[in-house]
A and B are shown apart, each in its own frame.
Chain A
Amino acid sequence: MPDERLLHETTSLCATCLDAVPARVVATPAGEVWMRKACPAHGEQAARLSTDAAWYEATRAIAPRPSPPPRVAREVERGCPFDCGPCASHAQRVRMPVVTITSACDLACPICYVHNKNDDAFHMPPDEFARVLERLVADAGGELDLINLTGGEPTLHPRLLDLVRLCREAGVRRVSICSHGLGLAKDPDLLAGLAALEARIALSFDTFDAGVDAELKGVRSVAQKLRCLELLDRAGVDTTLIPVMTRGRNDHEIGAILDLALRTACVRHVEVHTVTYAGQGGTSFDRSGRISMVEVLERIAETTGGLLGPADFVPSPSAHPLCYQIAYLLVNPRGGPPVPFTRFLARDDLYAALADHLYLEPGPRLERALQDAIDRLWAQGDDSRALGLLNDLLRTLFPPGRPLERAEALRAAERAVKAVYVHSHMDAETFDVERAYLCCDANVRTDGTQVPVCNDNVLYRDKEPRFMATPRAWGPRAGGRRVLPVVG
């Protein structure tokens, strides 16, 4: 198109045949960012990547720290994204290993971005899971920080507690389980069992509106989800709320969802996903719902009265900067609004403190950054709430009488902060190998191969008999010879 400015070129996928196609990412005169590409068989295609070209460019310019995977499973043969395992080109180690433990799900969400299979459902046997776990722990140098169990609906796995127990025995620090929460709300024994094993629940929670719920999830489940959250809170189960944002449907509710998270003690994180057009439901979901990362940040600013704005977020140093945006908030235990970390820490310091982990962990960088912040606020004579909250936190962590055990201190520190992650998944229309190369979230298979989650959702999962009654075949040109860019 004339008047469009080329931002970069990349390889994407044809939205119809899923073959690799060259793509151009351009800024339009209206200040938006679009991906334009053409498939020899299926013609020209375009998708909006962002409504703010300046934000897109500035964010994309932040180069993550190189941290290649410790183990390469496949040499480059067909080119990204067709050699996953990871391949020799992959530039980021896995920070969030995801294990799909079941193909069963009792919902059929219109926005579901994976493929599930309920007839002859797959449930990963514990011995198979143990092998996956063993390899993950070895890859992590003996100490695995985090594992996420997903599905389907993981609570339908008949031996879920056994799998979580295996994680605990392997010393995994955080075991999170994705769930829609409907089963947990009805099964106090399962919930108690998970609480006893200190599992964490990643609870999908998209809306307070029953009509929107039906539109996104195909059910009216708001009351059950709130009930589930209440039970999780009562049991002290660390919880992540996962709202999927769609433009014009529930994006105006993000502030209310964040407010719910801030009011509910057990909620540690909110992880906002942008709707992605992949999988059994998402592929055919209404495209008017597509929302970009920066739009979500803007909606958050609008609906929280400025509590959090785009400048309060930083990318993850462990991923492509367009994949994750992260904000941390210091919570006031006596009530009152929380304070975003960026109001007392430089964004660069928060970014640096996030290095090596997907979540903020205690470490020398964070400790020094917080010390510097405290000294600076104090030296400036700043009577800020931030200084008061930091003061309270330190005195909670290190009471003068009896020192807390480390686990107690970590717990207290975790309770004093909440985080908001915005995670933008890719689908075939928005696929960009530049982002895939740097993915740190991988679906881990029994044979040890690791497939970045977006690649898995878009390309790999529907080829597997575990998840598809009739697995699809790879396209004849998938990963085949490339053609030069032809769009523009």
Chain B
Amino acid sequence: MRLRDKRCLITGGSRGLGRALVTTFARHGARVAFTYSTHDGDAAEAARLVEAAGGAASRVFKGSVADPAHVKATVDALAAEWGGLDVLVNNAAVTQVLPISLLEEADWDLVMDTNVKGAYLMTRAALRHMIRRRAGHVLMIGNFASERVIEAPAHYAASKAALRGLTDALAREVGRHGVRVNLLAPGLLDVGMSRALPQHRQDEYVARAPLGRLGRAEEVAEFAAFLCSDESAFTTAAKVVVDGGL
């Protein structure tokens, strides 16, 4: 029970890695809230799984992380209900497989708004409460696309690389307030985008990875739980890649 009674907000928690994060955190004793943007059925299922994992009823907020009003309402509601926030996981992200030649400004803005601006807005809102308490942890969910030389959509890779900079800068800026900021960069997982990739892309990944397989969302979620726990209290500004050794 690494996260017993920790008040955790996870963005993009309804499916894929986000769903694994909310259920794993609940299993580790956390009080879990999550956001989602579109699919009500997925969110309901994730909430059910949180309860099945032994967690208290989760708090669920629908909206875009790029929408300041949604962000403010979410964090304010949790602060009012829980009295503060111990952990923020910036997991919400979108991607599109597009070559630079087809990548229009609107595509760029969509990815940057969700993946970078969303993380900034959520983090800034959460930090007010964390700094006040002089404790807290912000975990950015990056991607191996920003850590390794692989073919990835340019806007997506750029957005995930931006989170590295955000992690470094914030860790230095808010460390004196007792707030830690880390980044966890998963490799190709058995959920999310990998399921739409052509088989040969997956095969190529598996062939290159020393562990010879895709990652499981739960493996990444367990590592995230460790990073957000007090067991890693001396860890900040870390960029941890969990990709099977690619």
Contact = CB atoms under 8 A, between A and B. Distances in A.
Interface string B190-221: 00110111111000100000000000000000
Contact of A374 (B95, B96, B102, B192): B102
A394 B196 contact: no
A367 interface: yes
A395 B204 CA distance: 23
Contacts of B193: 403
B198 A367 contact: yes
Given A374-B102, A375-B101, A378-B102, A400 B198 contact: no
B199 A406 contact: yes
Given A403-B192, A403-B195, A395 B96 contact: yes
Nearest to B38: A401
A401 B94 contact: yes
A360 to B, nearest CB: 13
Contacts of A390: 102
B44 interface: no
Contacts of A408: 196
B102 A406 contact: no
- Chain B CB count within 10 A is highest, among A390, A391, A403, for A403
Contacts of A378: 101-102
Contacts of B197: 406
Interface string B99-121: 11110000100110000000000
B200 A363 contact: yes
A378 B98 CA distance: 13
B199 A394 contact: no
Contacts of B94: 400-401
A212 interface: no
A37 to B, nearest CB: 46
B132 interface: no
Contacts, number: 63
Given A391-B102, A402-B39, A397 B200 contact: no
Given A374-B102, A379-B101, A391-B102, A398 B38 contact: no
B111 A398 contact: no
A397 B196 contact: yes
Given A394-B97, A400-B96, A400-B110, A405 B196 contact: yes
A374 B97 CA distance: 13
Interface in A109-154: none
A305 to B, nearest CB: 30
Interface string A347-361: 000000000000000
B196 A403 contact: yes
Contacts of B199: 362, 406
Interface of A: 362-364, 367, 371, 374-375, 377-379, 390-391, 394-395, 397-406, 408-409
18 contacts: A362-B200, A364-B200, A374-B102, A375-B101, A378-B102, A390-B102, A391-B102, A394-B102, A398-B97, A400-B107, A401-B38, A401-B94, A402-B38, A404-B195, A404-B196, A406-B197, A409-B196, A409-B198
List of 4 A-B pairs having minimum Cβ-Cβ separation, nearest first: A378-B101, A398-B97, A403-B196, A362-B198
